[in-house]
Structure 1
Amino acid sequence: MTPGSTPRMVHTRAPGKINVFLKVGSLQDDGYHDLATAFQSVSLYEDVRAYPADDFSVSVTGTVSLDRVPTDDSNIAIKAAKLLAATTGYTGGVRLEIDKHVPVAGGMGGGSADAAATLLACDTLWGTDLPREKLLELAAQLGADVPFALTGGTAIGTGRGDQLSPALARGQFQWVLVLADFGLSTPVVYHALDEHRERNGRDILPVSSAPNVDMSVLHALRAGDPQMLADTLHNDLQAPALQLEHGLTTVLELGEENGALAGIVSGSGPTVAFLAADLDSALELQIALSAAQLNVVRVTGPVHGARVIAE
């Protein structure tokens, strides 16, 4: 970037995600699990605006509860900006304004979307122009879901979920999301899963240390067939999430009683995602769940990953 051409502000946008399939491997010695997941990015977005500054700061607004969002150096967007600066040798700072619409601690990767959008915004604002592959490397250092927030679309994630392979998905899928007014801690949900497996080890099949995504999921995505996908939705973290928050079971039952092809807890929850047969069915389901006093959002997927928005 030539001197004097630094933009006054860069606006980026990154999507939340649904795990349409998630298998969790056995607990490893380092306290983590390998995963096999199929991600789909959906049209519920985080917006980040980056302004030139001498230091690093962040402010947050949005349509979701912000009680659990830090505005100090522990915010993942600040971590993303500082990581990019350290990697590229940039000596200035950035003022970040985040407009959040993905639920906080909702199992949809909202924080990861903030980090991805920030990496792209600062790379553009500062003119550091890192190759896409390098941005993905930095994203993986910030969290397992951050690389997918950069790429978007539909992808298979393995390892910790950050080793991505694109997956072909034909057409658009219609989703209706029920957003909770509370969050669930991802480590707590994983711990509940480990405890369940330990208690019931004699009664359940052995857990693989390196799980795989079922081929039926890939076939359903490739066919663009919502009924096929509904039949293959799976999440190992759903049972512990339901155990921790019993009310989610009622939400799942209500959605399926009102025409959803299937419902699934997204990631570690507590967001519940319902797959609808088509747009009309999604609209009817949205109306029915809203009438039950639930916080409902209708979205489509897949959508693009993090991108710069022209002002």
Structure 2
Amino acid sequence: MTDIQPSQRVTVRVPAKINLELAVGPRGDDGFHPLATVFHAVSLYDRITVTPAPDWSVTTVGPYADLVPDNQDNLAVRAAKLLASRAVELGAESQPGPVAVVMDKHIPVAAGMAGGSADAAGVLLACADLWDLALLREDLEPLAAELGSDVPFLLHGGNAVGTGRGDEVSPVLSRGEVHWVLWLSTDEGLSTPEVYAEFDRLHEGDEVPMPELSAELMTALRTMDPDAVGAALRNDLQAASISLQPRLAEVIDAGLELGARGALISGSGPTVAFVVASQAEALDLSMGLAARGPKGDIVRVTGPVAGATVVDSRGPGPSLGLA
């Protein structure tokens, strides 16, 4: 085991994501659908702190704490164990010991915003710093991909194209930022497998084409013009999400009638993202949605933002920051 003092700890901040476009292909023999998606990291964050401990553990605080499992199946614990198991081959002198993970959770659970994947990315970065592994983010990508299709993107943030199962990520150049209003469900979330099953049911007998991204969105991202971005938003899972939770259609209609430049359900939902042109428009839309309903939490964010970032490091060496 490495000689780590109990006072050492590392804290990482990691963002949520929304999918500006999600093109879904036909279900394969392995049960998975090929995807083409544009990831967009937004300024809604979880904070992850890791410290050396006698045993592996995870504790969750924050508004969504009661929805997160606190056992060894938690993706954050799995991420820490996976990196520990590969640490020697990645340059450590010996295998690190257990850590205690504390998650301050502000990204909603089962909401199509990759909250669990964000936490896994944050733990990979935090443990790499704590254990003084001289790694770049690219070195963590293979481990991230083993944990989930969204995890590699959340190491980097920004805007990126995801293909395959979403885990083959390449950055998208863009300039400026976009303002968003997020409507977050305060009731039951949506299970990603359940939404894909509903997608298959709705397309039974149809010939689903292989996924392709639109040139319109790529063009819009170069300038981050809110009208162009809003017009190019697309989610092939949206109809399935609305089929399972019909009130999502009411949310979308309400936001568009109140002046949003565009709207879509993020990922498998049920989060609804509205693009607006300014902070003032975001505030007006937030107030309008709150007054009109349906009931939900309403958050104003911007994007794109950086991915997982070390914000406090008291590890065995100076903070690497992991470029």
TM-score under structure 2 length normalisation: 0.90
- What is the aligned partner in structure 1 of residue 268 from structure 2? 268
- 2:128 counterpart residue number: 123
**Match in the other structure for 2:316:** none
| Preserved contact between residue 4 and residue 52 of structure 2 (Cα < 8 Å) | no
Q: Quote the Cα distance in structure 1 between the aligned partners of 2:38 and 2:195.
A: 19
Contact 1:7 1:125 in 2 (8 A): no
Which segment drifts farther, 124-133 or 19-28? 124-133
1:208-287 counterparts in 2 under 5 A?
Answer: 208-209=209-210, 211-287=211-287
Which residue pairs with 2:182 in the alignment?
A: 177
Aligned partner of 2:24 in structure 1 is 24
SS of 1:310 mapped into structure 2 = strand
Tell me by how many angstroms 1:129 deviates. Answer: 2.7
* SS of corresponding position for 1:291: helix
Letter in 1 for 2:120: A
Counterpart contact for 2:109–2:115, Cα < 8 Å: yes
Aligned partners of 1:192, 1:31: CA distance in 2, in Å?
A: 13
* Equivalent residue, structure 1, for 2:37: 37
Aligned equivalent of 1:59? 59
| 8 A contact 1:56–1:78 mirrored in 2 | yes
Match of 1:304 in 2: 306
Whether the 8 Å CA contact 1:6–1:125 is kept in 2: the answer is no
Distance 1:234 1:23 in 2: 8
Question: Structure 1 residues 7, 161: CA separation in 2 closer, same or farther (over 3 Å shift)?
Answer: farther
| SS of residue paired to 1:193 | helix
Matched ranges for 1:71-220 at <5 A: 71-89=70-88, 90-181=95-186, 182-199=188-205, 201=206, 206-209=207-210, 211-220=211-220
Q: In 2, distance between residues paired with 1:166 and 1:226?
A: 20
Flag the 1:128–1:6 CA change in 2: closer, same or farther, 3 A: farther
Unaligned runs of 5+ in 2: 89-94, 314-323
Q: 2:296 is matched by which residue type in structure 1?
A: L
Give the conservation status (yes or no) of the 8 Å contact 2:25–2:209.
Answer: yes
Alpha-carbon displacement from aligned partner over 1:124-167 (angstroms, at most 9, x marks no partner): 11112333222011000000000011010000000000111110
Counterpart contact for 1:242–1:249, Cα < 8 Å: yes
For 2:138 and 2:269, the matched residues in 1 are separated by 30
Runs of 5+ unmatched residues, structure 1: none
Checking the alignment, whether the CA contact within 8 Å between 2:20 and 2:39 is kept in structure 1 is yes
Conservation of the 8 A alpha-carbon contact between 1:46 and 1:114: yes
1:187-216: per-residue Cα shift (whole Å, max 9, x none)? 0000000111115x2xxxx3223x121111
SS at match of 1:184: coil
What is the CA–CA distance in structure 2 between the aligned matches of 1:111 and 1:280, rounded to whole Å?
31
Whether contact under 8 Å (1:6, 1:127) holds in the other structure is no
Letter in 1 for 2:220: A
Paired residue type of 2:76: A
Per the alignment, residue 14 of structure 1 pairs with 14
Q: Indicate the residue corresponding to 2:318 in structure 1.
A: none
Amino acid in the other structure paired with 2:287: I
What is the root-mean-square deviation in Å for CA atoms of aligned residues? Answer: 1.6
Structure 1 SS opposite 2:269 = coil
Shift of 1:168: 1.3
Determine if contact 1:145/1:162 at 8 Å carries over to the other structure. yes
Alpha-carbon spacing, 1:172–1:218, altered in 2? closer, same or farther (3 Å): same
Separation (CA, whole Å) in 1 of partners of 2:20 and 2:78: 28
3-state SS, counterpart of residue 163 of structure 2: strand
SS at match of 1:8: coil
Amino acid at match of 1:185: S
Deviation at 1:4, TM superposition (A): 6.9
